[in-house]
Amino acid sequence: MGSEILVQVQDLKKYFFKERLFSTEKEPIRAVDGISFSIRKGETLGLVGESGCGKTTAGKAILRLIEPTSGQVFFKGKDLMSLRGEELRKLRPFMQFIFQDPYESLNPRMRVGEIVGEGLEIHGVARGKEKRERVEEVLEQVGLHPQDAFRYPHEFSGGQRQRIGIARAIALRPELIVADEPVSALDVSIQAQILNLLMDLRDRLGLTYLFISHDLRIVKHISDRIAVMYLGKIVEMASSEVLFRQPLHPYTQLLLQAIPRLDPAKREEKIFFKETFLSLEKERGCLFAPRCPHFKERCAREAPFLVDHGDEHWVACHFV
């Protein structure tokens, strides 16, 4: 992995303005609330957090699959947010997205060959025979058979469909892949196959991943660095090794503790934290404060910033 930075995200925000069912108040939902990080070429950054913390929204906003509310994303030095139509389209092949649900993300009426080759044609990369050859090559790279190009998605199992999704993503020889929970819908034994495949492809094709998942074991396994998200913000970021050895944010600590140990002898008593009812008020303080075991008065008043505690170990907590 080089030191060249491929993606740089700066203060990215995505708010949804929705009228809530039982209130007239028009408070936005701050799905992504000012996140910043960069990913080096060839690196895998894991983005981890629980449901609703904004992971998927962040991933989509970074690729501009949805329009961010504000912030900047630099991809190979170009400011994606300032690009229009054709300029953005030209960059598209280099940044691809893999979806969580292999059932819903493939058009059931298209043959696998068309699904995988569609992008090649749209972006004018290859047509006709050349396109067919490229599709065959890619299918083999993801462990499918060239003949599978003539079949339809419903003829495949969940794991194979995810392979099709991966083939579609790598067909254009991208540099960055945002993978959103790419194995969550799969059985454990198939998860392992797909994780192996993603890691092989990364090494062989020199890919850079933003790997989004709620599963800490999986994130640790595949990532070089990990960013932990809570309610739209990154609360901690470090190399995976350091994050697991020395988690500093109380939320990360609790998250790591909650991972089942796979060893019945180590059913230690865990520390638990409050499950809250309060829909968070328009708080100025730390978003994690209501659930934090170390809550102090300052936390209610003042939101902590993400601060570097050395060796690129970033933490957003007043008391670290």
Binding site for other proteins (CB under 8 A): 50-51, 157, 159-160, 187-193, 195-196, 199, 214, 216-218, 220-221, 241, 244, 254-255, 257-265, 267, 270, 272-273, 275, 277
Alpha carbon 221 to chain centroid distance?
A: 14
CB of 244 to other proteins, least distance (A): 7
Tell me the torsion sign for CA atoms 214, 52, 311, 224.
Answer: positive
Nearer to other proteins, 40 or 221 (CB): 221
Judge whether 213 and 219 are in contact, CB under 8 Å.
yes
Tell me the torsion sign for CA atoms 194, 195, 197, 202.
Answer: positive
Nearer to other proteins, 90 or 217 (CB): 217
CB of 179 to other proteins, least distance (A): 15
Nearer to other proteins, 65 or 259 (CB): 259
The stretches of 29-157 forming alpha helices (DSSP H) are 55-62, 85-91, 112-122, 128-141
Alpha carbon distance 107, 165 (integer Å): 11
Of 224, 218, 230, the closest CA to residue 242 belongs to: 224
CB of 146 to other proteins, least distance (A): 19
Judge whether 306 and 315 are in contact, CB under 8 Å.
yes
Nearer to other proteins, 75 or 251 (CB): 251
Nearer to other proteins, 263 or 281 (CB): 263
Three-state DSSP class for residue 186 = coil
CB of 281 to other proteins, least distance (A): 17
CB of 286 to other proteins, least distance (A): 17
CA angle (74, 53, 42) in 5-degree steps: 40
- Quote the tokens at residue 290: 């209501």
CB of 54 to other proteins, least distance (A): 14
Nearer to other proteins, 110 or 195 (CB): 195
